[in-house]
Amino acid sequence: MANAEGGQFVYAMTEANHLPAGLDDGINPAPFNGLWFEQVILQNISPIIVGLKIRPIQLANGKVATVIDVPKSRTVHQAKDRRYYRRRNFRNDMMEDYEIREALNRATTPDLYLRMGLAQTPTEVILAPNSPRSEPFGINATIGNSSPQPSFYTVVHLFADNRLEGSAKGYQVGAPAQTTTGVPLKRWINKLGIPGHFPIFAETEFSILGGHWLLTMPAELIGTQQIFTIGYMISAPGFSGQRFGKLFLTDGTLTLAMDDPLLL
């Protein structure tokens, strides 16, 4: 999984037709605790997987379900038999030469991400005086880099549901877009590059908005239940990534969940 796109193991999960079907009785936390799982992994995979998480979940019967989160690695990992494998759907295959080279090159390119959240959680939506739209509500966004390779030139695209209007300091309005499900989106674009902007180094997050991304909605929607698509795309030399989520409007308040797998 680390050699591919990452993934998750759940020990104590049953399955049917390759889909989760519930939990069994769990496993005994002694001796099968987090340390035991970590030692088994360390003894069978080289080099170590950075960012691996092992989480025991307590069950009512005193046993545990163990969740192992495997991140997509910035390098390639070798099994105990001195071969390289990657996960493909429901099987493990030996990696081709070009796949090993691609994995080794991951550390030579940026690995950028954006953290987005409402300026206030939850956010109350208020009608603006003498206006057909709401008062602006703010969204924060910070950019970071998980790779040791700095990003010297970065382009950030912000997307919001076509029913929303707004602005962000330093951003220009771009061409409209839509998701694969046909949801129309507005676009804002900002170019971060030398000499006007500092390179994006590993593990150093900072705001890319100069304040908040301010959005408004039509007045007639404020008292209704709505779901608005929102998201971003980042491009840099050797890297491209995007993520989408949903703004939920319920009883005049907004919440944001950035976990929707929609693509442009």
DSSP 122-154: SEE--BPTT-SBBPPEEEEEEEEE-SSS-BSEE
Predicted confidence (pLDDT) at residue 171 exceeds the cutoff of 50? yes
Which tens digit of pLDDT belongs to each residue from 105-164? 767 788 888 989 999 888 999 999 999 999 999 999 999 988 888 999 999 999 999 999
Which tens digit of pLDDT belongs to each residue from 210-264? 778 999 999 999 999 999 999 999 999 888 888 899 999 999 999 999 875 444 5
Predicted confidence (pLDDT) at residue 20 exceeds the cutoff of 50? yes
Long-range contact pairs involving 180-184 (C-beta distance under 8 Å, separation at least 24): 180/262, 180/263, 180/264, 181/262, 183/229, 183/262
Q: What gap in Å lies between CA 208 and CA 120, rounded to an integer? A: 18
* Gyration radius of the chain over CA positions: 22
Which tens digit of pLDDT belongs to each residue from 71-113? 888 788 899 998 988 887 778 888 888 888 877 776 778 888 8
Q: What is the enclosing helix (H) or strand (E) of 11? A: strand 7-11
pLDDT of residue 157: 96
pLDDT of residue 163: 97
Q: What gap in Å lies between CA 11 and CA 132, rounded to an integer? A: 53
Instruction: Look at residue 99 and give its three-state secondary structure.
Output: helix
Residue range 16-40: mean pLDDT, rounded: 86
